[in-house]
Amino acid sequence: MKVTSYRAGEAGDFAFTEDNAKRAAAAVTHYPEGRQASAVMALLDLAQRQNDGWLSPEAIEYVANTLEMAPIRVYEVASFYSMYNTKPVGRHLVQVCRTTPCWLRGAAGLTDTCRDQLGIGLGETTGDGQFTLVEVECLGACANAPVVQIGDDYYEDLSPERLSALLGDLKAGKEIAAGSQTGRQSSMPDGGAVTLTELPERAPAEPGRAVPGPEFGDPVSPGPVSPSGEGA
Ligand code: FES
């Protein structure tokens, strides 16, 4: 359906707060006239954050009405992406990445740790409403695998012991620090930033050779040079 204007939707007992209505209206302006439905993901995100982390049928219908879309089209988006929840979730949504790089680095052990420590299975929520456990596909932080997303934050370079400590702190109501749990900065090598600061030792020149041959890791040669002086 071609959308020609923005209007606040109406549905059941869900409606954007004044602030979110402004954010939604601003998101719609990012798209050309008649293409406002492209803002559906932004509006679903706003609705989910306002609705305790999940999209109720009323919230989906509200977004559909706002963007003049058929509710089923909005539901298709909400049910396709793992970032949207179409069922209630706990206060801490624990998403264990299970795709190959994380799996090779022990993701299955992380899921087992969550199961054991939280006493719930995949897709379940603890009785006190504090934790929901799910597995998801690649979170896009493979260089720091294995990775778990809790809420909006990533916890990287995990081991069962490190994750167990994080869950324990969350249970105790403590703040936890996002990012690498081994202390490395961003995705730098485990041993620190040495690539550009330490040169490999060169082997001594072989008899009959004035200069040692190139070593693996040496700077790449510019290649052959033509008589005119230009690269071949
Ligand atoms: S495979 Fe886990 S972040 Fe990419």
99-152 pLDDT, tens digit each: 999 999 999 999 999 999 999 999 999 999 999 999 999 999 999 999 999 999
CA–centroid distance, residue 148 to ligand 1 (Å): 9
- What is the residue whose two structure tokens read 């934050």? 153
3-state secondary structure of 162: helix
Q: What is the mean pLDDT of residues 196-202?
A: 66
Ligand 1 contact, 83 CB (< 6 A): no
Report the separation in Å between the CA atom of 121 and the middle of ligand 1, taken as the mean of its atom positions: 21
Exposed (0-12), middle (13-18) or buried (19+): which is 148, by Cβ within 10 Å? buried
- What per-residue confidence (pLDDT) applies to 6? 43
Structure confidence by residue, pLDDT tens digits, 24-37: 999 999 999 999 99
| Cα 206 from Cα 115, distance rounded (Å) | 60
Name the fold adopted by 18-80.
Answer: Arc Repressor Mutant, subunit A (1.10.10)
Does residue 168 have a pLDDT over 90? yes
For residue 209, name the pLDDT band (cuts at 50, 70, 90).
Answer: low
Q: Are 177 and 183 in contact (CB under 8 A)?
A: no
Centroid of ligand 1 to alpha carbon of 103 (angstroms): 8
CA-to-CA distance for 69 and 23, rounded, in angstroms?
19
* Diameter over CA atoms, the chain: 87
Ligand 1 contact via 102 beta carbon (within 6 Å): yes
Do residues 154 and 131 make contact, with C-beta atoms less than 8 angstroms apart?
A: no
Going from the Cα of 160 to the center of ligand 1, the distance in angstroms, rounded, reads 16
Examine the pLDDT at 97 and tell me if it is beyond 60.
Answer: yes
pLDDT of residue 217: 59
Pairing mode, strands 148-150 and 92-97: antiparallel
138 within ligand 1 shell (Cβ under 6 A): yes
Which pLDDT score is estimated for 205? 63
Does 37 contact ligand 1 (Cβ within 6 A)?
Answer: no
Which of 89, 93, 88 lies closest to 170, judged by CA?
Answer: 93
The alpha carbon of 147 and the centre of ligand 1 are apart by a number of angstroms equal to 7
pLDDT at 185: 85
Q: Which of 96, 99, 104, 157 to mutate to test the pocket of ligand 1 (most atoms within 8 A of CB)?
A: 99
Quick one: 178 exposed, middle or buried, by C-beta within 10 A (0-12, 13-18, 19+)? middle
Instruction: Give the three-class secondary structure for 98.
Output: coil
- Say if residues 78 and 52 touch (Cβ distance below 8 Å): no
Fold of 92-180: Glutaredoxin (3.40.30)
Instruction: Give the C-alpha separation, 75 to 23, whole Å.
Output: 21
Instruction: Write down the pTM of the prediction.
Output: 0.78
99 within ligand 1 shell (Cβ under 6 A) = yes
Nearest-atom number in ligand 1 for the CA of 107 is 2
If we measure between CA atoms, which residue out of 107, 159, 106 comes closest to residue 134?
A: 107
Q: Domain map of the chain by residue range?
A: 18-80, 92-180
pLDDT score of 188: 85
